[in-house]
Amino acid sequence: MATRLDYTIASRRFAARFPMLSVVAFHVSFWVIAYSLLYGIVYLSYVATLSTYREMNGSFAGFNTLPVFICSLLYGTGTGVLDYFLERKFLRNTSLGRIMAIKAIVCLVLMICCFLLLQYVFLDLIFAGQLTQTRALVITSYNWEYLFLLVLAYTFFMTLVVNFIGEVDKKFGPGVLLPLLLGKYRRPKEEERIFMFMDLKSSTSIAEKLGHIMYSSFISDCFMDINHALFPCNAEVYQYVGDEIVVSWPAVEGLRDFSSTRFFFTCEKYIQHRAQYYLSNYGIVPVFKAGMHIGTVTAVEIGEIKRDIAYHGDTLNTAARIQGLCNEYGKRLLVSGYFFDRSGIEGHFPTREIATILLKGKSVPVRILSVETTERYAIES
């Protein structure tokens, strides 16, 4: 468990601190592997063909690895930057089909540019003085065209693969796909985690006012804005349930720098910055309430037709019950006494003892406190 958790945490920290670099590094790594595989296939085909005619020339492998690396680096960097800026910056509200079509067109142009760069800039430098050493490989404009078509078809297929991996990675979050492939979630694993249940206040009246279509668009915008606070606060979305979003942290991440507590107020601040947008489009600014608790849960991969990673344990039930008390006490953020003691937020955030109550389904009373933001953390977030 420790190895998986350490890898996942490191991946999320890197993605949070260097979002564009993490995307570029993923694409470069993928295309280095992909083009190395293509090189291996072409080389083995070359060896098999020449061996048939007993004309094997071993110099092929010696000087063709450099253009493979150059092409991988150029194309991987280009597609990484493309993925980051197109989908995350410019195509936020664009359909997935249109995003993929735009990516395909731009990737085609990018691949042509990489090939032209290799052909007219790097090729002569790489092969200078070596082409005359073997009659087995002579690159001309004629066979270069066939090589280009081969690489183009292969690149198109592998682009579908990398897009699929990217979509799976978005579903589970950074650092989860590799442990999932290695089967780390096949059996239940214990983890100490923080869970926050965030729910839209007055959701029923808002839905009646806006209607189903506008309300769905409203909720979508709210969740998109909340997602902006995930990386800065090292958070991950566990699930969306109607107008509720469940956010989670490994305990070590959620307690570090008060990340889990800051997350709620960071979301509030971002939504307030977009208040004019909400007023113009919906006539209302969303307000959320939340409950938070920390404890031990089990993580396990579930489902056959639709697979997912599920967390089970009393921690989730307690966090949900605490969130349900927000309206009763007129508070935006309520936390359990156990979370309060573990988090060390006393003296950093204004808190108020609410009550010690017996939550539904529990046999031991739970201490409840409210947490408010301060100007200091409002500015920092």
Encode pLDDT of 6-33 as tens digits. Answer: 666 677 777 767 778 888 888 888 888 9
Q: CA-to-CA distance for 157 and 221, rounded, in angstroms?
A: 33
Size (the chain), residues = 381
Please tell me the predicted confidence (pLDDT) of residue 62.
Answer: 44
User: Which is more confidently placed, 341 or 137?
Assistant: 341
Please tell me the predicted confidence (pLDDT) of residue 381.
Answer: 38
Encode pLDDT of 37-63 as tens digits. Answer: 888 887 787 777 766 665 544 444 444
| Average pLDDT value over all residues in the chain | 79
Q: Give, in order, the Cα–Cα distances in Å from 234 to each of 13, 26, 33, 52.
A: 7, 19, 29, 58
Q: CA-to-CA distance for 59 and 37, rounded, in angstroms?
A: 19
Please tell me the predicted confidence (pLDDT) of residue 85.
Answer: 78
Q: CA-to-CA distance for 41 and 205, rounded, in angstroms?
A: 62
Q: What does R_g of the chain's alpha carbons equal in angstroms?
A: 27
pLDDT (mean) for 177-192: 77
The answer to whether 73 touches 117, Cβ cutoff 8 Å, is: no
Percent of the residues in the chain that have a pLDDT greater than 70, as a whole number: 75
Q: Is the pLDDT of residue 273 over 80?
A: yes
pLDDT (mean) for 181-199: 85
Please tell me the predicted confidence (pLDDT) of residue 380.
Answer: 43
Q: In the structure encoding, which two tokens stand for residue 282, read together?
A: 């919906």
- In the chain, which residue ranges form alpha helices assigned H by DSSP? 2-17, 19-52, 60-63, 65-82, 96-117, 123-127, 141-172, 177-181, 203-210, 212-227, 251-255, 259-273, 275-281, 314-323, 326-329, 337-343, 375-380
List CB contacts of 285: < 8 A, sequence separation 6 or more.
Answer: 271, 272, 275, 278, 279
Encode pLDDT of 199-232 as tens digits. Answer: 999 888 999 999 989 999 999 999 989 988 888 8
pLDDT (mean) for 251-257: 89
SS3 category, 232: coil
Give CA angle at 202 (200, 207), nearest 5°.
Answer: 90
pLDDT (mean) for 309-337: 91
